[in-house]
């Protein structure tokens, strides 16, 4: 019988007083007939950042190790449960921290072993909390449940056999499994992490493995909002999104959903819901294979923004009218494992944006053999997303007129091939202003669509 997967992020469990709410939400779910939910947790908020610093800054390891202990000890003291359960894990932490202090630089595998402590502690605390409320629950390390991955420490990807292994283990569990998010394990037993924010992806992998009825992402906003609330405080929840819309938003910076989350859900056609732990009765956002276009003016549902983007332009007049120019450029990016976001081309040049430039220097040498190369850093991609929006007559004109009206320079424009996304590049320092301007100018701040309505 199908069950739900419920993921609680660091923002949900990070504050001790919120944990009670998460436990009530899980308890409510156990009262629906069928198998108990599978719970996925991430580290308490701030803990993964602390561990990242611990790995990166050998000179501060002692102080950070103590802060890690203190954070969890004071948390369980405040909630009143979990003290016994975390004792052995904190002992492991002391050993691991001591060994790391002696080491200096850590290998990628050692780093993942350190990062994993955040999720391991959180799962133990949540499972203890559920038991304290009379529910049968057990903390489970994702690797023990079958989440096997490749060996790309820090950005691991599940192996194809993970689905079957997870399905077998989790189907055999009749209690509530509280599974560590963010973590996997190589076939030879070493812990891996799936990339920052990866607990959402874990929830979706588990959801696909048990063919869940729904994958629920419980967080601190009432759904996917019409913009990042840190940029646009008046942003509103979007009730319904398609997989394509949500994927574009997640990819272009809507942090509420890890970009890979929807892959397993799309494969199995499982709906994803984003819900607010502090306001569990809010409707949140539903993400399904297809979603109707919004009634809002311009059909735009949300605007996402990704900062720290770099643009690479390759200019080659020699390649004018020649075959194979683009193929050669993409071959270089592919060979250096550089993920390309946006692409615009002209007859003699191609511009590409990237957000991860750690292998760019090697690629540049190869690109210089193709043409003159310019690199621009400090840019941001803004994605204006909604089914049918880019094909709406006048949307692009309206967007660029709004931006031009306040003197904002648009560096690159690309109309997503998915037909749900109009994206463009601005200077990073202009990004927030551009998002706020468009949120208002495209009518996303309005209860009832009206004034800015485009021609029908
Ligand atoms: P969690 O700990 O639950 O995984 P995250 O911090 O990873 O939470 O993601 C939630 C945060 O994502 C929100 O608090 C918000 O600041 C940010 N965010 C960015 N864009 C959006 C958006 N479009 N809708 C909702 N939240 C967004
Ligand atoms: N705790 C991890 C992070 O901060 C994973 C997650 O939050 O999803 O990146
Ligand atoms: Mg997150």
Cα–Cα distance measured from residue 367 to residue 355, given in angstroms and rounded to the nearest whole number: 18
Q: Calculate how far, in angstroms, residue 103's C-alpha sits from the geometric centre of ligand 1.
A: 35
For residue 453, pLDDT beyond 60: no
In the block, tokens 């059909």 appear at 299
Of 439, 339, 425, which is closest to residue 385 (Cα–Cα)?
Answer: 439
Q: What is the pLDDT of residues 289-325, one digit of tens each?
A: 999 888 887 899 999 999 999 999 999 876 655 677 8
| Ligand 2 atom closest to residue 10's alpha carbon, by position in its atom list | 7
pLDDT band at 449 (very low <50, low <70, confident <90, very high): very low
Structure tokens at 308: 């720290």
Q: What is the pLDDT of residues 222-272, one digit of tens each?
A: 999 999 999 999 999 999 999 999 999 999 999 999 999 999 999 999 999
Q: What does pLDDT average to over the chain?
A: 92
Q: What is the pLDDT of residue 452?
A: 41
| Residue 118 or residue 11, greater confidence | 118
Identify which of 255, 386, 439 to mutate to test ligand 1's pocket (most ligand atoms within 8 A of the CB). 255
Q: What is the pLDDT of residue 14?
A: 85
Identify which of 199, 202, 218 to mutate to test ligand 2's pocket (most ligand atoms within 8 A of the CB). 199
Q: How many residues does the chain have?
A: 456
Minimum CA distance residue for ligand 1 atom 7? 256
Q: Model-level pTM?
A: 0.93
302-441 folds as: VC0802-like (3.30.2130)
CATH among 3.40.470.10, 3.40.1160.10, 3.40.50.720, 3.40.50.2000 for 4-220: 3.40.1160.10
- Given a contact cutoff of 8 angstroms between Cβ atoms, the answer to whether 298 and 452 are in contact is yes
Q: What is the pLDDT of residue 356?
A: 84
- What is the signed CA dihedral for 339, 344, 346, 351, rounded to 10 degrees? -50
| Ligand 1 atom closest to residue 228's alpha carbon, by position in its atom list | 20
| Ligand 2 atom closest to residue 194's alpha carbon, by position in its atom list | 5
Q: Calculate how far, in angstroms, residue 44's C-alpha sits from the geometric centre of ligand 2.
A: 9
Q: Calculate how far, in angstroms, residue 253's C-alpha sits from the geometric centre of ligand 1.
A: 9
User: 126-130, 176-180, 268-272, 419-423 — which is least confidently predicted?
Assistant: 419-423
- Given a contact cutoff of 8 angstroms between Cβ atoms, the answer to whether 355 and 304 are in contact is no
| Ligand 2 atom closest to residue 195's alpha carbon, by position in its atom list | 9
Tell me which DSSP letter residue 337 carries: T
Q: What is the pLDDT of residues 88-115, one digit of tens each?
A: 999 999 999 999 998 889 999 999 999 9
Q: What is the pLDDT of residues 335-348, one digit of tens each?
A: 998 989 898 887 78
- Given a contact cutoff of 8 angstroms between Cβ atoms, the answer to whether 206 and 163 are in contact is no
Q: Calculate how far, in angstroms, residue 172's C-alpha sits from the geometric centre of ligand 3.
A: 28
For residue 455, pLDDT beyond 80: no
What does the DSSP assignment read for 161-230? THHHHHHHHHHT--SEEEEESSEEE-TTS-EEE--TTTHHHHHHHHHHHTT-SEEEEEESSSSSBSS-TT
pLDDT band at 451 (very low <50, low <70, confident <90, very high): very low
Identify which of 14, 115, 126, 181 to mutate to test ligand 2's pocket (most ligand atoms within 8 A of the CB). 181
Structure tokens at 138: 């057990």
Give the residue extent of every domain in the chain.
Answer: 4-220, 302-441
**10 Å Cβ neighbour count for 446?**
14
**Residues within a 6 A CB radius of ligand 2:** 9-10, 42-43, 48, 118, 181-182, 196-200
Greatest Cα-to-Cα distance within the chain, rounded to the nearest angstrom: 73
**Residues within a 6 A CB radius of ligand 1:** 9-12, 42, 197, 219-221, 224-225, 227-230, 254-256, 302
Minimum CA distance residue for ligand 1 atom 14? 220
Contacts 24+ apart (CB under 8 A), 339-345: 341/251, 341/252, 341/306, 341/309, 341/381, 342/381, 342/412, 342/414, 342/423, 342/425, 343/414, 344/412, 344/413, 344/414
């Amino acid at each position: 019988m199908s069950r739900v997967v419920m993921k609680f992020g660091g923002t949900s469990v990070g504050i001790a007083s919120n944990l009670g709410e998460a436990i009530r939400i899980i308890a409510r779910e156990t009262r629906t007939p069928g198998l108990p939910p599978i719970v996925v947790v991430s580290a308490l908020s701030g803990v993964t950042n602390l561990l990242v610093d611990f790995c990166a800054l050998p000179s501060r390891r002692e102080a950070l190790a103590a802060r890690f202990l203190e954070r969890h000890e004071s948390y369980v003291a405040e909630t009143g449960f979990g003290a016994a359960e975390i004792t052995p894990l904190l002992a492991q932490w002391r050993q691991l921290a001591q060994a790391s202090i002696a080491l200096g630089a850590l290998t990628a595998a050692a780093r993942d072993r350190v990062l994993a402590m955040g999720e391991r502690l959180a799962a133990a605390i949540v499972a203890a909390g559920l038991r304290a409320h009379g529910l049968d629950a057990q903390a489970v390390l994702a690797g023990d449940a079958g989440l096997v991955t490749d060996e790309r420490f820090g950005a691991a990807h599940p192996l194809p056999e993970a689905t079957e292994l997870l399905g077998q283990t989790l189907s055999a569990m009749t209690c509530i499994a509280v599974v560590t998010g963010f973590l996997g394990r190589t076939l030879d037993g070493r812990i891996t992490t799936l990339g920052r924010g990866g607990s959402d992806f874990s929830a979706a992998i588990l959801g696909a493995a048990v063919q869940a009825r729904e994958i629920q992402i419980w967080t601190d906003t009432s759904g996917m909002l019409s913009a990042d609330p840190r940029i646009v405080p008046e942003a509103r929840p979007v009730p319904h999104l398609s997989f394509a819309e949500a994927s574009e938003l997640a990819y272009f910076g809507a942090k509420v959903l890890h970009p890979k989350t929807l892959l397993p859900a799309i494969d199995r056609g499982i709906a994803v819901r984003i819900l607010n732990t502090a306001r569990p009765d809010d409707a949140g956002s539903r993400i399904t294979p297809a979603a109707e276009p919004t009634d809002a003016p311009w059909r735009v549902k949300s605007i996402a923004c990704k900062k720290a983007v770099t643009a690479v332009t390759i200019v080659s007049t020699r390649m004018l009218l020649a075959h194979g120019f683009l193929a050669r450029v993409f071959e270089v990016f592919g060979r250096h494992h550089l993920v390309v976001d946006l692409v615009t081309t002209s007859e003699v040049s191609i511009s590409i944006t990237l957000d991860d430039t750690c292998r760019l220097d090697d690629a540049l040498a190869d690109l210089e053999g193709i043409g003159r190369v310019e690199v621009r850093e400090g840019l941001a991609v803004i994605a204006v997303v909604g089914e049918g929006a880019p094909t709406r007559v006048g949307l692009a004109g309206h967007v660029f007129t709004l931006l031009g009206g306040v003197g904002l320079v648009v560096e690159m424009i690309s109309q997503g091939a998915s037909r749900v996304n109009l994206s463009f590049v601005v200077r990073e320092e202009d990004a927030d202003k551009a998002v706020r301007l468009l949120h208002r100018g495209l009518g996303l701040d309005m209860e009832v669509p009206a004034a800015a309505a485009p021609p029908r």
